[in-house]
Structure 1
Amino acid sequence: MYIRHHRLYAAASCDVERTGNVVDPSASTATVRALLSRGDLKLRLAIPEAALDSSALDRAARWVHSSDLADPTPFLSEGLVLLTTGTQFAETPDDEHTHRAYVRRLQDRGVVALGFGSEVVRDGIPPLLQSACLDARLPLFEVPYRTPFIAVARANAEAIAAESYARRTWALAAQRAVALAALRPDGLDATLAELARQLGAWVGLYDATGDLRREHPAGQLDAATRDGLDAEVSAVVRRGARAGSALHVGDTPFSLQTLGRGGHLRGVLAIASGHLDAESRAVVTSVIAMAGLALEQNDGLQRAQGVLRAGVIHALLAGDVALARRFVRELGGALPPAPTAVCVVEGTAATLDNAAEWLAVIAATDPVVFGRGPDGLVVAATPDSPLADELVDRFPVRVGVSAPAAWAEFARAHDQARAALRRQRGAVARFGETAASGVLGALDSDLARVLAAASLAPLTDHDAARGTELLPTLRAWLEHDARIDAAAAALGVHRHTVRTRIAQAESVLGSDLSSFPARAELWAALQVSGL
């Protein structure tokens, strides 16, 4: 017995070392076919294999149980091979319904095969039972009299034990291979490549912005699957919470696992596999730990670069363009040619960190300068750059954009971007649109509206109480440059009526509207209030 076990284990281990791939749990070595192929048991398939489903004999045999109950299903679990001597059919040997109902119950319970022990109760397999199994496509095999049921159960248990040993052996070997890969010059990429080889599956690493940065084997996913997976990963990144999930994109199953801590994800590991058993998950977990460590080790470098990038922004705000150029050179780049559009990005600290990581990738190929400023993340790009729109598409942020400016005018452009953010409510606020509303448009605030309503209250109250039209007359008069005749024509009344109303309004307001400051104050109040 010991020698038999040792040989089974050794064979399974050699197979793992030879293939180096995860074995699909559904393709177990402890199958109905493996049981029938044991020459020492002398089992005989009683139904032609061609009459069965193509995968019927390759289903995993999770255990072997024997019972002669008419309905043993309450005591069975899915994936069992059931052995019987047919005692339950002794009283109804010719009842076709009894045999068919029996087989149907076994099939509904998930029994993968039925073994009949011949020459115990009767010779051979009952034809009605054979016919019922044939119609149900349930594998039926004969167990000869000299083969004890316990021998069949023991053979299957040995196969399960050998498979379990092989899986553990594979897991240890795979973890060693992954650990060695991590010691190579590009440890992270080598680790992912080794994981893909061990699992026999596509593996991809997404960064904190939801972009695919590494994949093995490269280009294996079709465009539709890639787009669907990108969308799923982007949703995971936006949530910002640590999580593991399984999903399907089209017909392809994927496992996703976040890297990093909650609220500050470093990336997402994606594996094109829907069959990760405990041993496979252990290998994936070790890779996640290594990848997470490698990404966290970059934090020190990123912090140093962040300080330099912040120095660039503060130097530009101080008007020291030469110092800013030196800082940018230290980062391995150069200030792009003017003019530039300055963007101020508002968001949570974690969101701005993720946006900065994404911008660092963009800056490697595009003329972009960015860093932390006094009011959030500050970005300078070419005036026609789509960066502002891309930022709000990728991250929950608001972006104010200045008018084009020279580098020496950076501080003024920065103020314009901040003013656009304060003035406009959209995700992207552009100073050009804000400037179009003029200086009075910038007064649109709760305080301004309260003050305007208070200053106009005497007129609105007078018109409401006495049925006069002092306020409309004043607006028309001011709109026509305080000209009586033009206002009268616009209102369709006599000029003396306008003159009388203006005098009455001055009395109600207690103000002399012949002076420009008084008229400007009244006009501003009308603009802000919208009356």
Structure 2
Amino acid sequence: MFPTLNALLAHRPLALRPLAGQAQDGADATPVTWAHSTDLADPTPFLEPGSIVLTTGAQLPVDAVDGGATAPGDTVDAYVERLRDAGVLALGYGSDVVRGCPPPALVTACDRIGLPLFEVPYATPFVAVAAWVAQERAQAGRARADWGVRTMRAVTSAAHRLDGLAAALATYAERTVTEVAVVQEHRVRGWDAAGRALSPAALATPGWALVRREADRLLRDGRRAATSQSRPDAHVTFQTLGRAGDLRGVLVRVGTDGPDGVEAGVLGAASALAGLALEQDHRAALARDEVASAVLALAIGGHADAVRAAARRLGTPLPTAPAVVVRIVGPADRTAEIRSALRPVPCFHAAHGGEVVVLVPAGGVAAVADVVGVVDAAAVSAGASDPAAWADLPRAHREAGIAAADAAPGELRMFSDLAGRPLDWVAMSEGSRDVARSLLSPLRAAPDGPADLEPALRAWLAAGCQWDPAARELGVHRHTLRRLVERSGRLLGRDLATMDARAEVWWALRAVDRARTS
């Protein structure tokens, strides 16, 4: 600790005696920057905050009383106020040099204005006070430097543990009594001043939300940067990690004050270790992703039994059969976010063919559906297969793709949902809709096609090709309906007396209806 006013007054060899004045709140703990001896009426241009002024009082009038002048137009109160406003911690008066004791006006002014006044006895030279301050500051500086070396060793030693990044930053937070966090694009980890991991609830507080916002801005900017923010209750520093254009994260330090020179050196080392750890994690993750993609490709290719051991080595074993295959479709820039959101879900997932493919136990589909709805409801959709044994995973993968193609944005569609409406499934693809439009084009080209012929066909086919119910539905005579249907068949070049022709036209009408509503 650097020397303080209380420590100076408590140093018995100097025999300093408090006389008047109460220090402002916190001043007793403020480090003393230096002790200056001066008899100038206004020494403030040569002082810095935290100084102690030592004076013999030669600039004060011999008969100074309350309000006595130190110079024409000046007062003792003004002299004391100047010292206080300049950040002077205290005033030391040397007795028995110019006069025996401090003038009453000085004592009264220090009491009124709140500047501590202490007596320096004749036997204690001013240089002894200054020497003590210098010695204490030098000793504190050496102690601080030693602390920096010990802290640096502790942080680097912790970096060699199994989870080196977490151990190193937890050690830094504990040694510096600060909070530290690493902010990545889809992940935030933090540690409190006791070196304990911050909970998700703690990282979701308004203060940390502001920190996350600034860190996200730095990540989006993509440049190496070191910035800081001063707030009423904290000082926050930000240091990007990684190369420009390829940042891995942002190291955040939250303390009551900014780091001094010694701690800044430790923080720089911690930043370097964190950047190296994140880069190693990134490369390891890429390697794991490649292996996971290979494992998944073999599993959905019918070789799940052969790759189960490899999946276990990745730390995410394949689920027990029967399993459900989920295919999540979305923009390429959402793949990492989707996979990050899937981490808490008990499943095996990997990138495959531009999609994220998930193998999940039959009862775990709802958790995957929650991820799909949260990541980007406007751009991500998914399909899930029926539960399948290991040997049936290729079929399940196809089922999930069919369901995904039918899913709306933000929705996970079950393949089993399509079993009750096979015509909708047949009409799903854009190609099938084009075929349907081509089939119906002669009908739609006729002058009365859209207004009369197409509605007549719809009503007749919907009524099971029965004339009377369909005619009543349309409000026309049955013979009129028959004439419209027969004319439609001639235009389409199909014999609507056959089941095949009826099924084709019914499918085409359903397909164009689906295209109109999708």
- TM, length-normalised to structure 1: 0.69
Q: In the TM superposition, what is the alpha-carbon distance from 1:313 to its structure 2 partner?
A: 0.9
Alignment CA distance shift 1:213-1:38 (3 Å): closer
Query: Percent of counterpart pairs with the same letter?
Result: 33
Alignment CA distance shift 1:499-1:73 (3 Å): farther
Q: In the TM superposition, what is the alpha-carbon distance from 1:283 to its structure 2 partner?
A: 1.8
Aligned match of 2:363 = 384
Superposed CA RMSD in Å reads 5.3
Aligned match of 2:512 = 525
Alignment CA distance shift 1:520-1:157 (3 Å): same
The answer (yes or no) to whether the contact 1:80–1:110 under 8 Å persists in 2 is: yes
**Cα shift readout 1:204-235 (whole Å, capped 9, x = no counterpart):** 77898636598895758689536538877877
Q: In the TM superposition, what is the alpha-carbon distance from 1:160 to its structure 2 partner?
A: 3.0
Alignment equivalent of 2:294, drawn from 294, 303, 311: 311
Three-state SS of the structure 2 residue aligned to 1:308 is helix
Q: In the TM superposition, what is the alpha-carbon distance from 1:140 to its structure 2 partner?
A: 2.7
Alignment CA distance shift 1:264-1:503 (3 Å): same
Alignment CA distance shift 1:204-1:215 (3 Å): farther
Three-state SS of the structure 2 residue aligned to 1:381 is strand
The answer (yes or no) to whether the contact 1:317–1:410 under 8 Å persists in 2 is: yes
The range that moved more, 444-453 or 487-496, is: 444-453
**Distance across 1 between alignment mates of 2:293 and 2:149:** 46
Q: Which has the higher contact order (CA 8 A, sep 6+)?
A: 1
Three-state SS of the structure 1 residue aligned to 2:511 is helix
The answer (yes or no) to whether the contact 2:177–2:193 under 8 Å persists in 1 is: no
The range that moved more, 200-209 or 308-317, is: 200-209
**Distance across 2 between alignment mates of 1:87 and 1:495:** 126
Aligned match of 1:440 = 424
**Distance across 1 between alignment mates of 2:210 and 2:399:** 37
Q: In the TM superposition, what is the alpha-carbon distance from 1:375 to its structure 2 partner?
A: 2.5
**Distance across 2 between alignment mates of 1:109 and 1:492:** 99
What amino acid is the match of 2:368? Answer: A
What amino acid is the match of 1:328? Answer: A
Q: In the TM superposition, what is the alpha-carbon distance from 1:319 to its structure 2 partner?
A: 1.5
Aligned match of 1:168 = 145
The answer (yes or no) to whether the contact 2:155–2:168 under 8 Å persists in 1 is: yes
The range that moved more, 276-285 or 206-215, is: 206-215
Three-state SS of the structure 2 residue aligned to 1:426 is coil
**Distance across 2 between alignment mates of 1:462 and 1:77:** 96
The answer (yes or no) to whether the contact 1:259–1:291 under 8 Å persists in 2 is: yes
**Cα shift readout 1:357-382 (whole Å, capped 9, x = no counterpart):** 786x769xx4x323332233322111
The range that moved more, 228-237 or 422-431, is: 228-237
Alignment CA distance shift 1:382-1:286 (3 Å): same
Aligned match of 1:375 = 354
Alignment equivalent of 1:281, drawn from 255, 258, 264: 264
What amino acid is the match of 1:403? Answer: S
**Distance across 1 between alignment mates of 2:348 and 2:153:** 43
Q: In the TM superposition, what is the alpha-carbon distance from 1:428 to its structure 2 partner?
A: 4.7
Alignment equivalent of 2:6, drawn from 33, 42, 49: 33
Aligned match of 2:117 = 140
Alignment CA distance shift 1:88-1:496 (3 Å): farther
Q: How does 1:142-157 map to 2 (within 5 A)?
A: 142-143=119-120, 152-157=129-134
What amino acid is the match of 2:3? Answer: A
Q: In the TM superposition, what is the alpha-carbon distance from 1:100 to its structure 2 partner?
A: 5.0
What amino acid is the match of 1:410? Answer: L
**Distance across 2 between alignment mates of 1:134 and 1:222:** 49
**Distance across 2 between alignment mates of 1:104 and 1:470:** 101
**Which structure 2 residue ranges, 5 or more long, are not aligned?**
69-73
Q: How does 1:156-305 map to 2 (within 5 A)?
A: 156-182=133-159, 191=168, 194-195=171-172, 198-199=175-176, 210=187, 212=189, 217=194, 225=202, 228=205, 241=219, 260=242, 273-275=255-257, 276-294=259-277, 296-297=279-280, 302=285, 304-305=287-288
Counting matched residue pairs gives 495
**Cα shift readout 1:509-529 (whole Å, capped 9, x = no counterpart):** 776684423454344323422
**Distance across 2 between alignment mates of 1:248 and 1:223:** 24
The range that moved more, 73-82 or 217-226, is: 217-226
Three-state SS of the structure 1 residue aligned to 2:351 is strand
Q: How does 1:23-172 map to 2 (within 5 A)?
A: 28-39=1-12, 41-47=14-20, 51-52=22-23, 55-65=26-36, 76-83=47-54, 94-95=66-67, 100=77, 103-104=80-81, 106-116=83-93, 124-143=101-120, 152-172=129-149
The answer (yes or no) to whether the contact 2:173–2:193 under 8 Å persists in 1 is: yes
The answer (yes or no) to whether the contact 1:208–1:268 under 8 Å persists in 2 is: no
Pair 1:404-2:397 in alignment: no
- TM, length-normalised to structure 2: 0.70
